[in-house]
Amino acid sequence: MIVLGIESSCDETAAAVYTPDGIRSNVIASQTIHEKFGGIVPELASRAHHTRITPTVKQALEEAGTDRDDVDLIAVTSGPGLMGSLLVGLCFAKGLSLACRVPLVGVNHIDAHIYSNFIDHEPRYPFVCLIVSGGHTRLVHVPRPFDHRVLGKTRDDAAGEAFDKIGKLLGLAYPAGPEIDRRSQNGDPDFHSFPRAMIREGFEFSFSGLKTSLLYYVEEKGEDFVQNHLDDICASVSQAITEVLSVKLRRAAEQTGVETVMLAGGVSANSMLRIKAKSAADVMGVELLIPRMEYCTDNAAMIAITGLMKMEEEAIGEEELGLGVRPFARMP
């Protein structure tokens, strides 16, 4: 089975080829145009996808040593995401499906982040997964494939969004998550204690108070102080965000009794979160899975593998297969 995965939900145009030997190519064309706006401009994202989708898919097929006629299944992100961006990938996939007479399956982007863990690891159930990306923060309990029981999610900003918005207040370019992570490694995480909302109970998250607290902190201390202690402030912010995330991951594992916990989504690339999640898993004696770095942030390898799993699990109805796949902006 050769699967072509296509992803265009946000600001990465991506294509990947999966074969029975594993992922054979994973091409990601990132859009840098949004940096100067401090966030994604949807119209610019759609236009950039439009110019990049054909060369990206071609490159993925070439790198995998395959031809479009060899493809047995096309898996494409159908949502959630920016509608204009989703439509570019979806319409391209439908055109290819029609031209090459290859079945098409729509993949939920958040499901794909979860199953990116099974690119390098054998599937195992039940598990608890902490999905932390730019648009979503949620804890799910998964007793069997595609049975996602949401334990809790964020009430306001997603964890990645918190990193990005805080970075903007600190004068860092968008997306600021990776830069805050880099700076944190040279800073003191206990330099300042930022709030850890709702850490004591439940599985819900809230990060908007942290952002406001940082805004007041910057106003009180002044620009020079902030720039002189940027690494320490980044480390303190990372500490506050990752402590809440890891405490809730541990609570979810304890309450559900699973033996496997996972991280998924762009923020799972965060070094402090990876360390904290590992020590939480070790204390509980459970296994921790984290995707390889290139599968943490948006990519099409995760779309390909999830599309294949969906087919194999027969978790899809006829209406979802083929040209009837419809885009959706928000999580159903």
Contact residues for ligand KG4 (CB under 6 A)?
A: 10, 133-135, 160, 163-164, 175, 177-178, 181, 265-267, 269-270, 297-298
Q: Pick the closer one to ligand KG4 by CB: 272 or 311.
A: 272
* Nearest residue relative to ligand KG4 (C-beta): 266
Q: Which residues in the 303-322 window bind Zn ion by CB under 5 A? A: none
Q: Pick the closer one to Zn ion by CB: 120 or 219.
A: 120
Which region, judged by CB under 5 A, interacts with Zn ion, from 19-27, 75-83, 98-106, 293-301?
A: 293-301
CB of 288 to ligand KG4, least distance (A): 17
CB of 277 to ligand KG4, least distance (A): 13
Which region, judged by CB under 5 A, interacts with Zn ion, from 125-133, 204-212, 247-255, 274-282?
A: 125-133
Residue type, position 165, single letter: K
Which region, judged by CB under 5 A, interacts with Zn ion, from 37-45, 80-88, 126-134, 160-168?
A: 126-134
Given candidates 14, 298, 305, 311, which one binds Zn ion under the rule CB under 5 A?
Answer: 298
Residue 175 binding partner per list Zn ion, ligand KG4, none, with a CB distance cut-off of 5 to 8 Å that depends on partner kind: ligand KG4
Query: Half-sphere exposure of residue 294, counting CA atoms within 13 Å on the CB side?
Result: 13
CB of 79 to ligand KG4, least distance (A): 12
Q: What is the Cα–Cα distance from 100 to 114, expressed in whole angstroms?
A: 30
CB of 67 to ligand KG4, least distance (A): 29
CB of 298 to Zn ion, least distance (A): 4
Which region, judged by CB under 5 A, interacts with Zn ion, from 42-50, 131-139, 156-164, 217-225?
A: 131-139
Question: Which residues contact Zn ion (rule: CB under 5 A)?
Answer: 133, 298
